Structure 1
Amino acid sequence: MHDLPRLALSVRQPSAWAIIHGPKIIENRSLGAIRAGDMAPGPICIHAATGMKEDEYRYLHWRFAQHGTTCPRPEALIRGAIIGTVDVVEIITTSDSPWFGGEAGLLLENPQPIEPIPASGALGYFEWAPGGEIAAPKPWMLRFGRGADSATGDLFPEAPPAYKTPPKKPWS
């Protein structure tokens, strides 16, 4: 644990997973949040926030699939813990990357997963300390994509949910 950066950034799932294990190379933030959080280039830990809403998960699950990435089921995503490290190499305000979608972002490189360390999160960059517990799955996470009658068993229980239309983006 001594080799980990002392600063962390809390990111909601499944974006935290995609930063550490997937292709997400930009974490979008407003310029105000970047200034208020004293965000600057350098190594940081990625903290998987405790909160995760079904509409956010559904939208990002669909979006990651558009980029060829299979997102883990919601109950499999660690929440309430440091899950890895990454280097913030630049604060950007424009990009052609499909991961850029806002006023500004942190350009990320060198993601390194670690064994999750339970910790509380905070806004902006924060000095983290181990403690607490990894969040337990919420009921919606356990039944996500399982069909209306999971008790009798779906025909293809491990098949990812299909989308007839793209889910609505839950934030602007």
Structure 2
Amino acid sequence: MKALSIRQPWAWLIMHGGKDIENRSWHTKFRVRFLVHAAKGMTSREWVAASDFCIAQGIHDTPFDMPSDDDLLRGGIIGSVELVDSLDTSDSPWYMGQRGFLLRDPKPLPFTPLKGRPGFFEVPDELITQ
């Protein structure tokens, strides 16, 4: 199954916070369910910026609506989501890039440690606990 590495807390927000757009600088023709890989790297500044963004957009009321930077799982698979389109524009409050992948139906999975890679990458089926 394919996976895409996404930095925290954005990966958590896809799984649990209603984030329906993954912003990218490139399009994809890929249109199936893929694994969400939470990237290993994340700074406190990135966590604060994401929290501030959510509050400014009216998506969350306080920074405590998502786990702290120390509590977010990183460096592995955290779930799967369906990619339904690749967009140039969107009315979603999550859209803020050059392009965006429209996502739906997130399904959290037990954490599976795994090294990430750029772009979509293949994950052996035996590594994923359903």
Report the TM range for the smaller structure's normalisation. Answer: 0.7 to 0.9
Given residue 105 of structure 2, which amino acid in structure 1 is its aligned partner? N
Moved over 2 A (4+): none
CA distance in 2, matches of 1:67, 1:104: 20
Query: 1:27 — aligned with what?
Result: 22
SS state at 1:40 partner: coil
Given residue 51 of structure 1, which amino acid in structure 2 is its aligned partner? G
Matched, 1:54 2:44: yes
CA distance in 2, matches of 1:41, 1:28: 16
Paired residue total: 120
SS state at 1:76 partner: coil
**1:128, CA displacement in angstroms?**
2.3
Does the CA-based 8 Å contact 1:64-1:71 persist in structure 2? no
Query: 1:67 — aligned with what?
Result: 59
Given residue 85 of structure 1, which amino acid in structure 2 is its aligned partner? S
Percent of matched pairs sharing the same residue? 41
Which has the bigger relative contact order, CA under 8 A and spacing at least 6?
2
CA distance in 2, matches of 1:22, 1:10: 17
SS state at 1:57 partner: helix
**If you compute each CA radius of gyration, which structure gives the higher value, 1 or 2?**
1
Deviations 1:81-107 (A, max 9, x none): 100000000001111111001110100
Runs of 5+ unmatched residues, structure 2: none
Which structure shows the bigger proportion of residues in strand conformation?
2
Deviations 1:28-48 (A, max 9, x none): 0002xx45xxx5111100000
CA distance in 2, matches of 1:86, 1:51: 21
Given residue 109 of structure 1, which amino acid in structure 2 is its aligned partner? R
